[in-house]
Amino acid sequence: MEAPQNFMAKQPAARLSILLLVLGTALVALSPIFVRLSELGPTATAFHRAFLALPILLIWLRAGNSQLHKTNTPLKQLSRRDYLLLGLAGLFFAGDLVTWHWSITLTSVANATLFANSAPIFVTLGAWLLFRERVTPLFLLALATALLGTLIVVGSSVQIDRNHILGDGIGVVTGMFWAAYQLTVKHLRERLSAATIMAWSSLVT
């Protein structure tokens, strides 16, 4: 059983994590609206989303390597596998952004959101098929509940017709890219900090 002082020490970090998770979810939820409002094309908008964030990520990386992430693997000690996975993460994220932005343009925001949120299905399949991770019945129940919740939230606005087939299909591809990105990042996080992963994968993106 965990000591009470250790449990209490972790509480502020846990609260901060939940707060950041909620904030991140809200910002991601608003992104399709801003993409629609953007005066640039979908690919240019996707490019600038990564490009404009890069200076902030590099500053975070430098500050993190010197202060916050004492256990982070130094850049000079990265293995060939680390570089490969960082490159793959960047390519998968680029694929996610481009297909996501085109999907928003070619179908309704609700449709694009629904199909892009199919990512947990592909994460589960990838973890099971590629990495032989055990998927429990409880996890599958939770996954089904989450997907049902997504469908309920956007279901009333979803429009399934021939005019949206291409955009809907690209939305599913978005979910595949996002799943591949998450699986890659999961393995990178075993050795690297979030700042390292986000900065270098965003540079590749």
Q: For 12-34, how does the pLDDT look when each residue is reduced to its tens digit (9 = 90+)?
A: 778 888 898 899 888 887 888 88
Average pLDDT of span 46-73: 76
3-state secondary structure 159-173: CCCHHHHHHHHHHHH
Tell me which residue has tokens 């993190």: 64
- The answer for residues whose C-beta is within 8 angstroms of residue 83's C-beta and 6 or more apart is none
pLDDT in tens, 176-192: 999 999 999 988 888 88
Show the tokens assigned to 114: 């629904």
d(CA 126, CA 124): 5
Cβ atoms within 10 Å of 39's Cβ, excluding its own: 6
- This prediction has a pTM of 0.76
Show the tokens assigned to 118: 């199919």
Q: Please tell me which residue, 147 or 75, carries the higher pLDDT value.
A: 147
Tell me which residue has tokens 């055990």: 134
Please state, rounded to an integer, the average pLDDT across all residues of the chain. 81
| The pLDDT value given to residue 10 | 61
Would you place residue 108 in the very low, low, confident or very high pLDDT band (cuts 50, 70, 90)? confident
User: 26 phi and psi, to 5 degrees?
Assistant: -65, -40
| The pLDDT value given to residue 163 | 72
- The answer for residues whose C-beta is within 8 angstroms of residue 105's C-beta and 6 or more apart is 35, 36, 42, 167
Would you place residue 113 in the very low, low, confident or very high pLDDT band (cuts 50, 70, 90)? confident
Instruction: Tell me how far the alpha carbon of residue 35 is from its chain's centroid.
Output: 17
Average pLDDT of span 57-86: 72
